[in-house]
A and B are shown apart, each in its own frame.
Chain A
Amino acid sequence: MDILILCVILLFSILAGIIVSTLGIGAGVILVPFLTFVIGIPIKVAIATSLVDAITVSGAASAAYIKERKTNVRLTLWFAATSTIGGITGALIAIRMDRTLLSEIFAIALIITAYFMIVQRKEVSSAAPYGNDADPFKLNGSYRDDETKQTVNYRVKHPLLGFIGGFLSGNAAGLLGVGGGIVNVPVMNLFMGVPIKVATATSAFIIGITAATSAAIYYSYGYIHPLLAVTVLEGIFLGAIIGPRVQGRLKSEALNTAFAVILIVVAFLIMAKLFG
């Protein structure tokens, strides 16, 4: 691979790392279109690269969230039990799928991601007050909110939904390399009563486990290009370090909406390219 192209990929990966850590979205929605439609790398290699980097981002984010006590480890296992199955099936389908169809599905996934980026922020946390209700699965928890400086207690409802949400998010990750946050976070927040901050933190941890499942399959089929994966990995890692430092200077809501619009434009560009 040309050194100049590697430098361009490294610089873009740093930018992607900044965006990912600022907006809390998966790197795949940025990396896969760039690697495939700008650099010209096959989409399956781009998806595999994105999955490897999702493990790094998940680890970096989880280390911070666990310290803040926002990651619900028990809830993670309800989702991961089926997200790993979804990750395996998604990867196996993607490996056998025609690349044009895969690109079309990816474009649709970008539009869905953009929709959730706009809608999700407007949702109010549906966290229920911590009562004396029975907690047979030990899923209830609490965390300290940095904004209100108060301890927030929450009660997790309908844990079985974790199995359904996990499978869907795992499938999205394995098939498209976009991470499962677009499924995990709304399922936890809207249907299970988990506060948005806990849902985001727990989803970050789940994504690492799911991405590893799918990445292992892509690796064994030879879709992981080591130099490309390491270049993107280091760029994302650097970007994730820079991101939180610039986050305070950016208006995250405006940035969120602007980026959602960009995703929709990219989705239509992909469609336009595919249909000539």
Chain B
Amino acid sequence: MTRMEINLRQVIILSACTSIIISSFGVVVLALQPGVTTDLTLLPTQLLSGVKTGNPLAIMNFGIIVLIISPVTWLLTVLVSFVGERDRLYIILSIFVLLMLISSSIIVPRL
């Protein structure tokens, strides 16, 4: 494997495991707190305060958000490698895909 492939594989495994551990922890907390509603959607501000107070819905949501943004970390790893190789074409393509990913979660929903 090349250095980029080794780093990319490690980042993929780390990001997947992190999101599954956080989400599963949310399910365990939910099992310990019966009666908590899980059908609500939380605002970003409620999410952080909910995680701090051990709200199972917030913890599960946080795990899902970590999962959704994990491809951003994959692309950042690839981008850093291409910057190291000074490969302009793939630096541009990586940045473009990253911008699309970020815009889908920040800009597009506000349109």
Total A-B Cβ pairs within 8 A: 137
How far, in angstroms, from A209 to B15 measured CA to CA in the complex?
13
How far, in angstroms, from A59 to B71 measured CA to CA in the complex?
9
Partner of B38 from the list A69, A213, A226 (CB cut-off 8 Å) is: A226
Contact (Cβ within 8 A) A209 B9: no
How far, in angstroms, from A200 to B83 measured CA to CA in the complex?
27
Could you give, for residues 21-59 of chain A, a 1 whenever the CB lies within 8 Å of some chain B CB and a 0 otherwise?
Answer: 000000000000000000000000000000010011001
Contact (Cβ within 8 A) A208 B104: no
- Tell me which of B15, B94, B100, B105 has the highest count of chain A C-beta atoms within 10 A of its own C-beta: B100
Distance to closest chain B CB from A46 (angstroms): 15
* B residues in contact with A66, CB < 8 Å: 1, 5, 8-9, 12
How far, in angstroms, from A52 to B94 measured CA to CA in the complex?
22
| A52 and B68 contact, Cβ closer than 8 Å, known pairs A63-B13, A212-B101, A230-B27 | yes
* A residues in contact with B61, CB < 8 Å: 226
How far, in angstroms, from A59 to B9 measured CA to CA in the complex?
9
Please report which residues of chain A, range 60-90, place their CB below 8 angstroms from some CB of chain B when the two chains form the complex. 60, 62-63, 66-67, 69, 71, 73-74, 77-78, 80-81, 84-85, 87-88
Please report which residues of chain A, range 216-254, place their CB below 8 angstroms from some CB of chain B when the two chains form the complex. 216-217, 219-222, 224-227, 229-231, 233-234, 237
How far, in angstroms, from A227 to B36 measured CA to CA in the complex?
12
3 closest A-B pairs by beta carbon, nearest first, are A84-B100, A220-B109, A216-B105
Could you give, for residues 68-111 of chain B, a 1 whenever the CB lies within 8 Å of some chain A CB and a 0 otherwise?
Answer: 11111011001000000001011001101100110111001100
Contact (Cβ within 8 A) B93 A209: no
Contact (Cβ within 8 A) B30 A227: yes
- Tell me which of A73, A85, A214, A233 has the highest count of chain B C-beta atoms within 10 A of its own C-beta: A73
Please report which residues of chain B, range 15-35, place their CB below 8 angstroms from some CB of chain A when the two chains form the complex. 15-16, 19-20, 23-24, 26-27, 30
* B residues in contact with A213, CB < 8 Å: 100-101, 104
Contact (Cβ within 8 A) B75 A81: no
Tell me how many residues of B have a C-beta within 8 Å of chain A. Answer: 48
| A234 and B105 contact, Cβ closer than 8 Å, known pairs A56-B67, A216-B68 | no
| A219 and B64 contact, Cβ closer than 8 Å, known pairs A55-B71, A209-B74, A230-B24 | yes
Partner of B16 from the list A59, A74, A87, A91 (CB cut-off 8 Å) is: A59
Contact (Cβ within 8 A) B12 A77: no
How far, in angstroms, from A224 to B63 measured CA to CA in the complex?
12
